[in-house]
Chain A
Amino acid sequence: MDRRIVFILVALAVIIPMLLSINLPVSVSEPTQKFYDYVESLPAGSTIMVAFDYGPSSLAELNPMAKALLKQCFDKDIRVIAITLVVDAPTLASALIQEVAAEKGAVDGEDYVFLGFRPGAVQVILGMGTDIASVYDTDYNGTAISEIPMMQDITNYDQIDLLVDFASSDTVESWIIYANVQYNQKIAAGVTGVIIAQMFPYLQTEQLVGLLSGILGAAEYENLVGAPDKGMQWINVESFVHLLIVGLVIIGNITYFIMRREE
């Protein structure tokens, strides 16, 4: 089969389900349920640090899960400190936080704060273990940390109830090594599908309290939060692309065996 036909089939498998807006039922996996339950168990007034460690290329997979978590936090009056270790993430993270905050009526500086980006991932993680203000002296908008109301009683990880890393690379492992092992910080993660396999040892050792896996994790979380959005929409599209690839692999193997028998 010509590769151009494969490309056309993939395009059709993406476009058709989008136009038909098919809704397949999504069950919830154990790692996602653990993540959700941990956040639900936090009382109002708790603080979650959210690290937006991904760039525009992984936005489609990770933005929906970050959005669902922010909605859950603002609904439960959980305060959010957002940061990023990735240089091209601040603009997308800032836009997403502002969008959800506007929808939920959350107030900048009281319900959430976005601290932005600082270079040197490991140094930033370690530095915040001692004093967050030593790493971030201002927030993303340039307001001094000392002038932000919700930061008045937050010095370091001791006041952070959960750290959530939304990641498309190995930053989750850096958070585990330097924040969990060094400072006993509770961590949960939401990662892209391609790196999900390497997260499972940390889930088993409970160094991760929960884990969201790619667009499926986003759909599951939206389901739990009760706010179906892009995750639910895109997992249906992905279903058809996966079906197509499985079909192509089976056809390819049947052709291979027929040709081998003829030889």
Chain B
Amino acid sequence: MKRQVPLVLCFVFGIVMIFTQFSPHSFSQGIYEEVISWALIIGPFALVLATVTLIQTHTARIRRRTEHWQYSFVVFAGLIIMVLIGIPFKPQNSVFEWLYNNVQLPMDATMFSLLAFFIASAAYRAFRARTFEASLLLITALIVMMGNVPVGDLLSNDTASKARQWILDNPNLSARRGIILGVSLGVISQSIRIILGIERSYLGGGD
């Protein structure tokens, strides 16, 4: 029963929602709008689930004393402080905004900024013209990099940005379109498998 009910629900809603896309009838569209409003209610449960999973994961880390388990206390401190301020006083509260602007924002920005240092170091060490393919990739990357900044145009008399645009508009676009078509076909086949109950991993248990 625990497996049959979700499978039946998935099949019924899958078929009904596909049907609503092909029928402009008011009854069909009424069903579509109703189900969308249900989905809006279900959405927030994902946040609850994520919070519960975060708490479980870090509780387990502390209990098992895994590597760097002390940092899990920092996670709990951040979570508790922001929830205690955010829920009763709303995110517009000055303390909440201060913590956001002076703790979260600089930390997030710092983490992302560090990438520039690692990318520069990695590019110097790993970007080698070892083979024909690697050379092609290297030359393309250098053109796109120079075309992406004004100094590239200044040094190449506007050629760098034009070359960059051609690369993005042609080889890049062709490759991306191929990927999109492949992914789309995969999504369609996977959706059919889920609706028909062939793919059941979303129920848990892995079968």
Tell me the A residues contacting B by CB distance below 8 Å.
1, 3, 6-7, 9-11, 14, 24-27, 29-30, 55-60, 87-88, 90-92, 94-95, 118-120, 122-124, 126-127, 130, 134-135, 140-142, 193, 196-198, 200-201, 204, 213-214, 216, 219, 235-236, 238-246, 248-249, 251-253, 256
Contact = CB atoms under 8 A, between A and B. Distances in A.
A242 B37 contact: no
Interface in B17-45: 33, 36-37, 39-40, 42-44
Contacts of A248: 120, 123-124
Contacts of A135: 40
Interface in B140-184: 142, 145-146, 148-154, 158, 161, 165, 168-169, 172-173, 176-177, 180
B150 A235 contact: yes
A25 B149 CA distance: 10
B101 A91 contact: yes
A123 B146 contact: no
Interface of B, helix, strand, loop or mixed by DSSP: helix
A193 B148 contact: yes
B120 A29 contact: no
Contacts, number: 170
B127 A249 contact: yes
B100 A91 contact: yes
Contact of B149 (A140, A200, A242): A242
Interface residues of B, number: 59
Interface string B45-72: 0110000000000000000000000000
B88 to A, nearest CB: 14
Contacts of A130: 33, 36-37
B125 interface: yes
A197 B176 contact: yes
